[in-house]
A = this chain, B = another copy of it.
Amino acid sequence: MKTKITLKHIARELEVSISTVSKALKNSSEISADTIEKVQAFAKLYNYRPNNLAISLKSRRTNNIGVIIPDIVHYFFTTVFRGIEHYSKERGYNVIACVSDESLEKEVINMELLANGSVDGFIMALSAETQKKNHFDHLSQVRDYGIPFVLFDRVTDEIECDKVLINDQEAAFLAVKKFIENGRKKIALITTEDYFSVSKGRESGYRQALETFGLPVDEKLILRLPFTDLDNGKVDEFFNTHGIDAVICVNEIFAVHCMNLVQQKGVKVPEEMEFIGFTDGILSKYAKPGLTSMAQHGFKMGQVAAKMLIHRIENTQDEEEEPYRTEIIKSTIIERESTINGITVL
């Protein structure tokens, strides 16, 4: 087992000083061509690689980005992660990935752990519990230490920072608009508990569309489900009682689940009931019928978040603070067979 070689080893072997070696490896003009060649040849031979830790300690830069997401087995978050990873690598940053498991405590622990020198900045989507309890001390604290962070998707108004969002409200509005143009009258919304920022936005777009186009907002047409453990009884009753002819769901699991359920009862999709989901993931694509979805462009979102963060990391030094920005990623509709394709252009 070879041991990792250091500057010191090279210096000793070549009978020069450590600083000479360091400079030679950087092609410093202070060093003679001879020495440079000798040192570099030796370094190459023994496959010298500088120790990241030492460099980080010295430079106060880790070139690591901490990503904290509520769940990794989740199409949207992994897609965003992919975008973050992709852009970050391009710019020479690694990604340390942590999962908060929808728990505030884990979010805090992960953040504190990484904040002590492991990471130059954070990109995160808040856990359910964090949004529910409105507890953001960990964010303010990290900011106090001058560590920048970017929130995406699951954000809060209480903290000022860079954010990346989709136009949830507008997207929901457009989805409902499409239903209305297709002649639907009883448009249901299936959503989560309303402490999620995204659900809130989507619900508000839903209401706004109904009002705008002169349809009554019927609270009984709004079904709130927990985001795990779908209760079929409740869903079943919902679909049995209200004469629903179109459904917008805040995620694709709700949508596909409900679509399967009503089809089992003989309802024809899309003829008798149309469906639109959010998150254009793998489920939407392989559902039967294919689920029309509002695509959230997670990859792009991740790229943008990483770009904002790295920009801030690399410009946070001396200059005066730039104002925080909120980037909106436009959601687009991906039409499949769960809706009737009119001439509407969204």
Q: What total of chain A residues lie within 8 Å of the partner, measured CB to CB? A: 54
Stretch with Cβ within 8 A of B (4 or more), from A78-86, A158-166, A176-184, A193-201: A78-86
Q: Are B64 and A72 in contact (CB under 8 A)?
A: no
Contact A73 B64, CB 8 Å, known A117-B51, A145-B2: no
- Which of A15-23, A90-98, A125-133, A213-221 interfaces with chain B? A90-98
B96 with A95: CB separation less than 8 A: yes
Q: Are B99 and A85 in contact (CB under 8 A)?
A: yes
In-complex Cβ contact of A97 among B4, B95, B146 (8 A): B95
Bound CA–CA A49/B113 (angstroms): 9
CA distance A67 to B288 in the complex (A): 35
Chain B residues near A235: list those with CB within 8 A. Answer: none
B97 & A3 in contact (Cβ 8 Å cutoff): no
Cβ of A75 within 8 Å of any chain B Cβ, yes or no, is: yes
What chain B residues lie within 8 Å of A116 (beta carbons)? 4, 49-52
Q: Which one of A54-62, A202-210, A237-245, A328-336 contacts B?
A: A54-62
Contacts of A85 in B (CB 8 A): 72, 97-99
Q: Is A112 an interface residue, CB under 8 A from the partner?
A: yes
Copies in the complex: 2
CA distance A144 to B2 in the complex (A): 6
Cross-interface CB contact of A96 among B57, B74, B96, B112, cutoff 8 Å? B96
Closest to A99 in B: B85
- For A76, give the chain B residue with the smallest CB separation: B73
A118 within 8 A of B: yes
Name A299's closest neighbour in chain B (CB-CB): B73
Instruction: Return the CB mask of A278-293 against B: 1 if under 8 Å, else 0.
Output: 0000110011100000
Q: Which of A31-39, A149-157, A167-175, A252-260 contacts B (4 or more CB under 8 A)?
A: A252-260
A74 proximity list for chain B (CB < 8 A): 78
User: Within 8 Å of chain B (Cβ to Cβ): is A11?
Assistant: no
Tell me how far the C-beta of A270 lies from the nearest C-beta in chain B, rounded to whole angstroms. 15
- Give me the interface of A with B, judged by CB distance under 8 Å: 1-4, 47, 49-54, 56-57, 62, 64, 72-75, 78-79, 81-82, 85-86, 89, 94-99, 110, 112-118, 141, 144-146, 253, 256-257, 260, 263, 282-283, 286-288
Closest 9 CB pairs of A and B: A97-B97, A53-B117, A51-B117, A52-B117, A49-B116, A53-B57, A73-B78, A288-B288, A256-B286
**A/B interface sample: 6 pairs, CB < 8 A:** A49-B112, A53-B53, A73-B75, A85-B97, A94-B113, A283-B286
